[in-house]
Chain A
Amino acid sequence: DGGITQSPKYLFRKEGQNVTLSCEQNLNHDAMYWYRQDPGQGLRLIYYSQIVNDFQKGDIAEGYSVSREKKESFPLTVTSAQKNPTAFYLCASSIPGATLAPTGELFFGEGSRLTVL
């Protein structure tokens, strides 16, 4: 079955450590996204990528980094510069619309919950 796989599901980090969250998709989608979800807030966009070897900052990119070396993979690194990294992280993918607007739906992974100790 096609879908998006995020790993790990739960991750604990000590302050000052970098961690990398994995996101793999086999939907053959061009566009991939990373969102952060905090209680009582909507999803906030961290980074997105419309095509391999290209990515753009979202609203809250500070303290995060990504790469897009393969169409299937879009890993997110949470660096020590991120001041409040404890959150639920969601990866998604979509087929970009003709006008570059996401007129198609997003497909989400099951999420990764990061806790900083």
Chain B
Amino acid sequence: AQSVAQPEDQVNVAEGNPLTVKCTYSVSGNPYLFWYVQYPNRGLQFLLKYITGDNLVKGSYGFEAEFNKSQTSFHLKKPSALVSDSALYFCAVSLDSNYQLIWGAGTKLIIKP
């Protein structure tokens, strides 16, 4: 079965420290990978995507993610966390042969001052 896993329900980071939100996937075929962010009681906002090319993808608000094909991972990173980064983060994958996105369960990121 095709799936996306976000192994941490919650990640706590001190402001100014680097942050990582993990995502692994299990799909057949070539994956397209996405990260979205959701603030409380709001819709989701697109952060970044990997389609092809450079494995390191840069996105909005200083976030970046690295596609690792051998480890089937697409971890979200930021060098220096801000309190305003506190939100719910979703990883998603689609296939070049499928019109639907497969979503992870989400990781709550808490940045403490």
Contacts and interface: CB of A to CB of B under 8 A. Distances in A.
Contacts of B94: 101-103
Interface in A13-57: 40-45, 48, 50
Contact of A48 (B99, B103, B104): B99
Interface string B87-108: 0001010111111111111100
> Which range holds the interface residue count of chain B?
20 to 34
B14 interface: no
Contacts of A96: 99
Interface in B59-113: 90, 92, 94-106
A58 B100 contact: yes
A8 B99 CA distance: 28
B29 to A, nearest CB: 10
Contact of A42 (B4, B46, B95): B4
Interface residues of A, number: 28
A101 B98 contact: yes
Nearest to A59: B100
Interface of B: 4, 9, 32, 34, 36, 41-46, 49, 51, 90, 92, 94-106
Given A92-B43, A102-B99, A111-B43, 14 more contacts: A41-B105, A42-B105, A42-B106, A43-B101, A48-B99, A88-B41, A90-B44, A99-B97, A101-B32, A101-B99, A102-B101, A106-B46, A111-B42, A113-B41
18 contacts: A4-B43, A41-B106, A42-B92, A43-B44, A43-B101, A44-B103, A48-B99, A101-B32, A101-B97, A102-B99, A102-B100, A103-B49, A105-B46, A106-B101, A107-B46, A109-B43, A111-B41, A111-B42
